[in-house]
Amino acid sequence: MPDCFLSTYLPVASALLGAITGGGIGFLTARFTTNRNARAAAAGKLRAAFAPELVAMRFDRAKEKFDADRLLREAFPRHAEAVEEFRFFVKTGDKAAYEQAWRQYYEVGGSVRFFDYMMGDDPLECFETRVRSILRFAD
The model's confidence at residue 134, banded by pLDDT at 50, 70 and 90, is very high
Q: Say what the pLDDT of residue 23 is.
A: 83
- Average pLDDT, whole number, for the chain? 82
For the chain, strand residue ranges (E) read: 107-108, 111-112
120: DSSP letter:
S
Query: For helices 123-135 and 2-59, what crossing angle results, to 10°?
Result: 170
Please tell me which residue, 86 or 22, carries the higher pLDDT value: 86
Q: Say what the pLDDT of residue 71 is.
A: 82
1: DSSP letter:
-
Dihedrals phi, psi of 73, to nearest 5 degrees = -65, -40
CB atoms closer than 10 angstroms to residue 75: 16
Q: Say what the pLDDT of residue 137 is.
A: 93
How far is Cα 133 from Cα 126, in angstroms, rounded to an integer?
Answer: 11
Taking a C-beta distance cutoff of 8 angstroms, is the pair 137, 127 a contact? no
Q: Say what the pLDDT of residue 107 is.
A: 76
**What per-residue string of b and e applies to 22-57 under the rule 16 or more CB within 10 Å gives b?**
eeeeeeeeeeeeeeeeeeeebbebbbebbeebbebb
pLDDT digits (tens, 9 = 90+) for 21-63: 888 888 888 778 888 888 899 999 999 999 998 888 888 766 7
Q: Say what the pLDDT of residue 116 is.
A: 64
